[in-house]
Amino acid sequence: MECQFCNKTLKTKSSLKAHQKTARYCLKLRGKSTKKSVKSETFSCLCGEIFTRKSSLNRHSLTCRVIVAVNDLQEKIKKLEQTLAIQASEIQTLRKDKKDLFKHSEEIAKQPRYTQNNKINITQNLAIFNKSDEDIQRIVHEKYKKEHLVDGQKGAARFTAANILKTNPGEKNIYAVTDRSRGNGKYLLGPGQDVTDHGMVGLSKKVFDPITKKACIIFAENFHNEEIKRGYADLVDEDRTKFRKEMVKECVQMESSTIEIIEISESSDPIFVIEED
């Protein structure tokens, strides 16, 4: 809209009225005093509209599309910042886990083996570990839920046993515990490719990365849930002892029908050892 006195173009009728009342050069052209206009106060909105009363600006702000859009954008930015902070913390934790896992694997490799008398031989043959990384990622994405995250590392172990390691009735196991006390396991990558999994490091690498990523998403969606917070903190803890102990329990239950206990000495507790071909 154009001012009839000074030819200035304004967007709205209210802006035009405010201009004609407060613009000093426009008032001078009309021969009106500018003293009062100097004292006049105006209130501007982000959309460009000008008001002479703050109450009018407040009423306008409730329905202004520009302000609503800005508020929505700020809320989205806040949520993204929270998610990025969680992911940054997770990345830092995973880097530490990686170093600790290699260090733990090296320490176990240096330890002497078969120091006790009582042994338990795995009498059944294992099937080939037929779950690829893509298969595990898909299973975790589809089946890992809040109830698993609440239980932290134990929940991760139970999920792994029930959804990744469990086979159909009558089929051979794809993973077996070979040392309860140290949490060692055994699996086959192919015919004759027998892998000894010290401290379940190999199994942890296969399942923890996709589980932690899915847990991060669940945690971000349930940021104020205290049970979820505790479970997530336990899951990303650098010490994976809880996971290994729970995996031993779950695997022993699956193997109970096919493991034969051979008692050699009554002086010490039995442990698992790998039966060499």
Give tens-digit pLDDT for 43-76.
888 888 888 888 888 888 888 888 888 889 999 9
Phi-psi region of 114 (alpha: psi -120 to 50; beta: other; left: phi over 0): left
In whole angstroms, what is the distance from residue 263 CA to residue 237 CA? 37
Judge if 194 and 236 occupy the same domain: yes
Domain-located, residue 8:
no
Say which range, 124-128, 218-222, 228-232, has the weakest mean pLDDT.
Answer: 124-128
In whole angstroms, what is the distance from residue 86 CA to residue 133 CA? 24
Sheet harboring 176-179: ordered strands across?
176-179, 184-190, 193-197
Judge if 144 and 179 occupy the same domain: yes
Tokens representing 240 are 């994976």
DSSP calls for 4-30 = TTT--B-SSHHHHHHHHHH-HHHHHHT
pTM of the model as a whole: 0.49
Note whether 204 and 243 are within 8 A (CB).
yes
Note whether 98 and 251 are within 8 A (CB).
no
First to last CA, the chain: 93
Judge if 52 and 92 occupy the same domain: no
Count of beta carbons in the 10 Å neighbourhood of residue 99: 10
Domain-located, residue 213:
yes
Judge if 33 and 114 occupy the same domain: no
Domain-located, residue 7:
no
Judged by DSSP in three states, 91 sits in helix
For the cut 70, the answer to whether the pLDDT of residue 238 exceeds it is: yes
C-alpha dist (Å) from residue 112 to 81, 109, 116, 220: 49, 8, 11, 44
Q: Specify the amino acid at residue 145.
A: K
Tokens representing 18 are 């405010």
Range of the domain at 53: 13-63
β pairing state of 43-44 and 50-51? antiparallel
pLDDT class for 265, splitting at 50, 70, 90?
very low
Render pLDDT for 87-101 as a digit per residue (tens, 0 to 9).
Answer: 988 998 888 888 888
Domain-located, residue 68:
no
The count of domains in the chain is 2
